Amino acid sequence: MGKELLFAVFRNKIPERTPWVPFAGVHAGKLKGYLTQEILTDGDKLLESLLEVNRVYSPDGQPVMFDLQLEAEILGCDLIWDKKAPPSVVSHPLAKTRNIELSIPGPDDGRLPIILDVMRNLKERVGNTTALFGLICGPLTLASHLRGTEFFLDLMKDQSFVANLVEFCREVNKNIATYYIEAGMDVIAVVDPVVSLISPKHFEQFLSEAYTEIFAHIRKTDRFSSFFVCGDATKNIELMCRTKPDSIFVDENIDMVQAKMITDAYQITIGGNLPLTTVMLLGTQMDNMKSAVDLMDKMGRQRYVLAPGCDMPYDVPEENVIGIIQAVRDFEHTKAMLQNYTRENFDIPVDLPDYGNLFRPLVEIFTLDSATCPACGYMKKAVDEAQEHFGKKIDTVEYKLTLPENIARAKKMNIQHVPVILINGDIKYSSYLPSRNDLFKEIEGHI
Amino acid sequence: MEHFEQLAASIEKGDSANTKALVKHAIGENIPAQDILNNALIVGMNRIGIKFRNNEVFIPEVLVAARAMKAGLELLRPLLGEGSIDMKGKVAIGTVKGDLHDIGKNIVGVMLEGAGYEVVDLGTDVSKEAFLEAAQNTKAKIIGLSALLTTTMPYMNEIIDTLKEADLRDKIKVIIGGAPVTQTFADEIGADGYAPDAASAVDLVESLA
Ligand code: B12
């Protein structure tokens, strides 16, 4: 279902709702309590984290690994690791030489066996419903990994070297794309943040052909392609379109409406550009719903995919993503809910229970709408199971924020994020699904 | 005059060899080094800075121009003598700990050099201790902090605290920059200034120095 929505958009059809692709790279690890290096080097942990992303964020498409240093590492760049960010390249094999004596990575090199294995597994587990994205490091970024900052001077001063290096990187890209396609990827995304730093003239001179060839290579295998930039690439969007990818995903500093006019002219899908830091990392759940609703409102359903601007920061709170999913799943109600929420005079009278003097424990759950928000659904199910288990010994009630009076109640109780489970008026689990055991024990303690 | 224009244009084009030749020629004609710097090198670099701010040129163009300017400056430096170039003061600049992005910082550094400041480049991944040491030992009156990651931005605050603890805060001006940094953030952590790009960074330093 989900993946068909995305494919429909790529095929220029109008889907029944906007598809959504959360770029949970390093952030996937957070859902399972793993640090970056653990998920980027250990296939089991990566798979576990990606399955969790799939379960909690019910994506229509999802990337398998977001590490633009993977190819560079194989080609001889040293990496340093960070706890919560992708690794960084710290040395460049071509820093002091213009002899490109490097060989194209094979499927058994570096961390490729791990990632290919995870791709095959993930394909088997969720590939029927979710489009899987294989991400490769684009030629310009890869070239600058291999050569270092000197590469920018080469662009001006040694054009034949640049052409040779880009050609090598293009071949690396095509080979990696083939491995990923054979491992079951539906979409190959070429990610090239450095593209935002060069002029259209240089793009045309050094990248147009390489990209056209890479996307043609992907098209031949009947898979979809994406061009991700990450950064302000406004001036290069038109040229990017001419290389004929199926889709272009752009970062937050790009004016989406203007960009869409360009991509529309080429019948190319555009994706993006939820702000990573100001909204996803630091905003509230409501900010996130609003950002998603506003984007979907102004972009329309044709040739548009909702996504973050780039790799999501590790510490993005789950409830913020849950808010976005709600907006995707139930656009109209979320829009209405937001209007209610921001209304100035918001005094629907609500009576709160007398929490200190209850006959039996009261388990309350606030949801966006358990019918459409998967995380809310899981938490609601846990509460239902508790009701079944304890029978008449407890009371349970769900408040969906789709109703204004429930928003008033949430405000009165100072609830900032949902889904949330409260016992006798105290917040117990916020955007976090307790195990059956934990929840039952907690309730037991109140009987 | 004509020399100056040619020289400025040569810097704009990023032609190091031609820049060196023109500087040598100007020196040969007994044009004072300070004039060559002010009326040609700085002019060329400024133009690039403004074009960069207006999205007319991009990183590669700025970096070659910076290299050409450095090549010219190298020839002038012995003639400028300590006194005159120090007049505008020293700025120590570095990318904060945990952060390796240095393209932006380097451009700011070169533009400041172009504007006549002496720049001490502390490099990338610079600890608060190293910034403190620079504040104590380099005679820099202004310290520039660069960060490109939201995860390394908060470290700027720690650096300011370190300077406070060492009782140096009121003797040193701290300016900050980098793509995710904003004026609001600068105000929050009590920095003395923020600039969104290299050309504005020069204006900022001028206003503080
Ligand atoms: C080039 C680049 C790299 C290169 C850096 C090479 C180098 N030697 O610098 C490499 C490949 C190594 C790299 C690595 C990483 N990067 Co990087 N990188 C970029 C990229 C493409 C461009 C940054 C840049 O140089 N911009 C151009 C310069 C000129 O702009 P600037 O730095 O902002 O500087 C200007 C102003 O800010 C100001 N200024 C700057 N400093 C100062 C200081 C003072 C005092 C003042 C007054 C002004 C000032 O003046 C400058 C000139 O006008 C950006 C994305 C983008 N397109 O913007 C991502 C980006 C910054 N990287 C990012 C990330 C996540 C990383 C990595 C963690 C992993 C990765 N590769 O994805 C590592 C981290 C490495 C580390 N520990 O630092 C993210 C940061 C997200 C965030 N906001 O936290 C970005 C935004 C990409 C993205 N959307 O995901 N990266």
> Domain holding A401: CATH number?
3.40.30.10
Q: Which among A308, A337, A366 is the end of a domain?
A: A337
Tokens standing for B189?
């952590």
Distance from CA of B95 to the nearest CA of A (A): 15
Same domain? For A297 and A179 the reply is: yes
Average pLDDT, chain A: 92
Segment A376-410, tens digit of pLDDT:
888 888 999 999 999 999 999 999 887 888 888 88
Query: Residues with Cβ < 8 Å from A223, sequence gap 6 or more?
Result: A181, A185, A186, A187, A188
Average pLDDT (A193-219) is 95
The pLDDT value recorded for residue A346 is: 60
Q: Which residues form the pocket of ligand 1, taking CB atoms under 6 Å from any ligand atom?
A: A 68, 85-86, 88-89, 149, 193-194, 196-197, 230-231, 251, 277, 310-311; B 59, 98-105, 107-108, 144-146, 148-151, 175-180, 195, 197-198, 201, 204
User: What does the pLDDT read at residue A406?
Assistant: 86
More confident residue, A343 or A388: A388
Residues A106 and A222 grouped into a single domain: yes
- pLDDT for A83-108, tens place per residue? 888 999 999 999 999 999 999 999 99
Which of A85, A157, A202 lies at the smallest CB-CB distance from B64?
A157
Under the banding of pLDDT at 50, 70 and 90, the label for residue A418 is confident
Count of the separate structural domains present in chain A: 2
Q: For A223-240, what is the mean pLDDT?
A: 91
CB contact under 8 A, B59 and A277: no
| Residue A432 or B70, more confident | B70
Give the per-residue pLDDT at B74: 87
CA of B125 to the centre of ligand 1 (A): 13
Contacts of A66 (CB under 8 A, 6+ apart): A23, A24, A25, A26, A86, A135, A191, A311
Residues A292 and A186 in one domain: yes
Which domain, by its residues, includes A70?
2-337
How much distance in Å is there from the Cα of B179 to the middle of ligand 1? Answer: 7
- Asked if B14 is an interface residue toward chain A (Cβ–Cβ < 8 A), one would say yes
Q: What's the one-letter identity of residue A353?
A: P
Question: Between β-strands A426-430 and A420-423, what pairing exists: parallel, antiparallel or unpaired?
Answer: antiparallel
pLDDT at A437: 87
On whether both A325 and A375 belong to a single domain, the answer is: no
Domain stops at, among A337, A369, A393: A337
Q: Which of A137-146, A165-174, A266-275, B115-124 has the lowest mean pLDDT?
A: B115-124
A182-186, A225-229, A367-371, B104-108 — which is least confidently predicted? Answer: A367-371
Across the interface, of B60, B102, B103, the residue whose CB is closest to A156 is B60
Q: What is the pLDDT of residue B87?
A: 55
**Collapsed DSSP state (helix, strand, coil) of residue A434:** coil
Domain boundary among A310, A337, A364: A337
Whose tokens are 């050409």? That residue is B68
Q: Ligand 1 centre and the CA of A36: distance in Å?
A: 19
How far apart are the CA of B100 and the centre of ligand 1, in A? 8
CATH number (domain holding residue A311): 3.20.20.210
Which residues in chain A touch residue B103, judged by CB atoms under 8 angstroms apart?
A: 149, 152, 197
List chain B residues with CB under 8 Å of A156: 14, 60-61, 63-64
At a CB cut-off of 8 Å and minimum separation 6, what does A327 contact? A288, A289, A292, A293, A296, A334
Confidence band for B195, pLDDT divided at 50, 70 and 90? very high
Cα–Cα distance, B141 to B206 (Å, whole number): 12
Given a cut of 90, whether residue A213 has pLDDT beyond it is yes
Confidence at residue B120, expressed as pLDDT on a 0 to 100 scale: 93
- A230 and A324 assigned to the same domain: yes
- Residue among B11, B16, B54, B59 with most chain A CBs within 10 A, to mutate: B59
- With cut-offs at 50, 70 and 90, classify the pLDDT of residue B183: very high
Does residue A342 lie in a domain region?
no
Place of tokens 């955007």: A431
Q: Is residue A127 part of a domain?
A: yes
Task: Give the model's pLDDT for residue B107.
Answer: 87
Q: Do A149 and B102 touch (CB under 8 A)?
A: yes
Q: pTM of the predicted model, to two decimals?
A: 0.85
Domain B90-208: assigned CATH number: 3.40.50.280
B98 touches chain A (CB under 8 A): yes
Q: What's the pLDDT at B82?
A: 52
- For the segment A190-212, the average pLDDT, to the nearest whole number, is 94
In this model, does residue A164 exceed pLDDT 70? yes
Question: End-to-end alpha-carbon separation of chain B, Å?
Answer: 29
What is the model's pLDDT at position A345?
Answer: 54
Same domain, A65 and A187: yes
Distance (angstroms) between ligand 1 centre and the Cα of A220 equals: 35
Distance to chain A for B202, nearest Cα, Å: 21
Which of 1.10.1240.10, 3.90.1200.10, 1.10.20.60, 2.40.170.20 is the CATH number of B2-80? Answer: 1.10.1240.10
Note whether A308 and A429 are same-domain residues. Answer: no
pLDDT at B191: 95
Name the band, by pLDDT with cuts 50, 70 and 90, for residue B98: confident
Q: Are residues A56 and A178 in the same domain?
A: yes
Kindly report, residue by residue over A283-305, the tens digit of the pLDDT: 888 899 999 999 999 999 999 99
Strand A131-137 and strand A187-191: pairing?
Answer: parallel
> What ranges do the domains of chain B cover?
2-80, 90-208
- The more confidently predicted of residues A230 and A119 is A119
**Protein residue closest via CA to atom 4 of ligand 1:** B101
pLDDT tens for each residue of A351-382 = 889 998 888 999 999 988 777 777 788 888 89
Please say if the pLDDT value at position A343 is more than 70: no
Same domain, A146 and A31: yes
Separation CA B42–CA A53 (nearest Å): 53
Which candidate, B82, B1, B75, places its Cα nearest to that of B40? Answer: B1
CATH topology agreement for domains B2-80 and B90-208: no
Per-residue pLDDT for B80 more than 60? yes
The yes-or-no verdict on residue A168 having pLDDT over 60 is: yes
Q: Is residue A252 over pLDDT 90?
A: no
pLDDT-wise least confident of A315-324, A415-424, B10-19: A415-424
Model confidence at B1, pLDDT cuts 50, 70, 90, reads low
User: Cβ contact (<8 Å) for A152 and B63?
Assistant: yes
Q: How many CB pairs under 8 A join A and B?
A: 46
Whole-number mean pLDDT of chain B?
Answer: 89
Give the closest-approach CA distance of A78 to chain B in angstroms.
Answer: 14
- Whether residues A313 and B102 touch (CB distance < 8 A) is answered with no
Contact A125/A115 with Cβ under 8 angstroms? no
Q: Do A232 and A274 fall into the same domain?
A: yes
**Is residue A343 one of the residues assigned to a domain?**
no
Tens of pLDDT, residue by residue over A114-124, are: 999 999 999 99
Chain B residues with CB under 8 Å of A204 CB are none
| Cα(A131)–Cα(A47) distance, integer angstroms | 15
Q: Cβ-count burial of B184 within 10 angstroms (0-12 exposed, 13-18 middle, 19+ buried)?
A: exposed
User: How far, in Å, CA of A225 to CA of A134, rounded?
Assistant: 10
* pLDDT digit string, tens, across residues A66-88: 999 999 999 999 999 988 889 99
What is the spatial distance between Cα A362 and Cα A109, in angstroms, rounded to a whole number? 56
pLDDT at B118 over 90: no
Q: What is the ipTM of this complex?
A: 0.80
